[in-house]
Amino acid sequence: MDNSRILGLPVKDVYDREIGTLVGYEIDPRGMPSKFFIMTPNGGFIKVEGEAVEAGKDYVLLKNFWKIKAESLIRGVEITRRRLEALENLRQEHQIPTNIYDELKGTYLKDMNELSNKVVELSSELSKIQEELKNRLDTLMRVRSINKVQLSTGEVDEISYKAAETMLETSLDITLLEIKETESIMARLKNLRQKMSPEVVTQQRVSNFIELLRAINSSNKQRDADSPLVVRLQNVMQNQQ
């Protein structure tokens, strides 16, 4: 994409609505656009991720960046989950040193925790957007109802009513599509959270259990090895409290 060529082009969303004009962009160290700046008709600015913009012939397409964010998080979670699984398998097969195993596991669990926080943040943002969309839908339905009443009473002529109705109907259809899209994304994020939580908890439990076994093994060297396992386990847990 020739970034210089798209400056000044109008920006439309996936529903063919005009958002504004593309007036600037940021370049990352790789020479790729990382951010785009869009000026809205009222003089405001919208900053979007580089991957959310696609150049067309006469305009710039602003893709659904909420969906892009969700798909990016889903990919990140899946990759991290597979890494944790592979790491555990390598550990069980004694193909990886303990110190490196501990280091990588800590890194992957940290990555998973950060991804989990991002999923929560995105879900919260989408909840607000969904609420705004539902309020917009309610307003559209209210205005249509008022117009119908005023048409019936003769306060509005039929030509004006039809012109307004065409605009309202188009906006209503788009709003319903947006609500459906956000609901779909939120459902995917909810499913993702359900998959993530057991993963992180399980990995943490495994880590804690391994540490406990190591502590028991260490205690064997300091205490009578003939002591019952329950007694040694109780001693170790008391020392860790």
Domain positions in the chain are 3-63, 67-207
pLDDT at 224 over 90: no
Nearest to 181, CA basis, from 38, 101, 66: 66
pLDDT-based confidence at 68, cuts 50/70/90?
A: confident
pTM above 0.85, yes or no: no
Average pLDDT over residues 56-72: 87
Q: Is 36 left (phi over 0), alpha (psi -120 to 50) or beta?
A: beta
Q: Is 20 left (phi over 0), alpha (psi -120 to 50) or beta?
A: left
Over the chain, what is the mean pLDDT? 83
pLDDT at 55 over 70: yes
Cβ burial 124-149 (10 Å sphere, 16+ → b, else e): eebeebbeebeebbeebeeeeeebee
Between 110 and 49, residue with greater pLDDT: 110
CATH of domain 3-63: 2.30.30.240
Range name among 30-34, 42-46, 85-89, 147-151 with the lowest pLDDT average: 30-34
How does pLDDT run across 165-182, given as a tens digit for each residue? 999 999 999 999 999 999
